[in-house]
Amino acid sequence: MKNIPFSVPSEKIIKARIRQLTFGSRPRCPRCQRVSTVRRSENRYRCSSCRRPFSLTSASWLTGMKLSWPTLWRLLWCFCHKYQPQQAAWQARVSLKTARDWYGRFRRNLPQRTGKLDFLTCADEAYFGKRKSGNQRIVAGVIELPGKEVRLRVVPNVSQDILEGFLVKHVERDSMIYTDSHKSYQSIEWLGFAHDTDNHEQNQLKKTVPIERVWSFAKWHMRRMYHHVWAKNLPEFLCEIEWRFSQSEIFKNPLTFLTETLMPVPSR
């Protein structure tokens, strides 16, 4: 297996980047947000106001990290570039369990994409996982046209109330929604949406092709990178798919990912 095709920055450079993203120009206490801190070592600080210690990672989802900074950088690079956990474990010289745990942490700390979709949209539902293993779940999805903004959520069933509630939550009223001919969508005009359908049984696919592309991408990514995803991890996997499909540039490198996911300590 080939090594990753880039040179990992030094630990000093990585910590400087993390420090800039987390604290800005001056370290701030994550508890009281004051800048009156005393630096005790390279990674440790003590707040002069509340007298509590804090570290470079204690104010973010990196808290409790036991990896070295270059190892974290390698794992994050592999995640951004769709390496399988087994490949990432080899590249970072960690166990497979550690690689899987950190992949899960990366997914869980992607911000939830918010805001309702507008104008032209396309909605559908899909099944993920195998029924015989008890791991199958239903996912409702909607995509905004002509862009790539998408919303994906696990739903308990495909009843009319569930799918209508999903559309009301994620689509602006007066928007056009293209769906298949599933009976649960037949009354969405009463909710204030314009509605048009494709009958898949008659090979009508033109209007719903965009959301079918989302399902194709999601299942291809699942097989290529993870082989399968357990039902308990499906919501965080769907969040990853939303970002990879709608705003893939954040996965360009570890720094762009951390810029999007590390929340700066607010100033007081």
Whole-angstrom Cα distance, residue 96 to residue 103? 11
Span 74-98, pLDDT tens digits: 999 999 999 999 999 999 999 999 9
Q: Is 239 left (phi over 0), alpha (psi -120 to 50) or beta?
A: alpha
Please name the amino acid found at residue 194: A
Weakest-pLDDT range from 6-20, 134-148, 208-222: 6-20
The kind and range of the H/E element at 72 are helix 69-80
CB atoms under 10 Å from CB of 153, counted, come to 17
Higher pLDDT: 51 or 196? It is 196
φ and ψ at residue 122, rounded to 5 degrees: -140, 130
Domains, the chain: 11-109 (no CATH), 120-250 (3.30.420.10)
3-state secondary structure 16-58: HHHHHHHHCCCCCCCCCCCCCEEECCCCEEEECCCCCEEECCC
Higher pLDDT: 48 or 234? It is 234
Q: What is the dihedral of CA 188, 176, 114, 224, to 10 degrees?
A: 100
Residue 242 has pLDDT above 70, yes or no: yes
Whole-angstrom Cα distance, residue 83 to residue 163? 34
Higher pLDDT: 4 or 54? It is 54
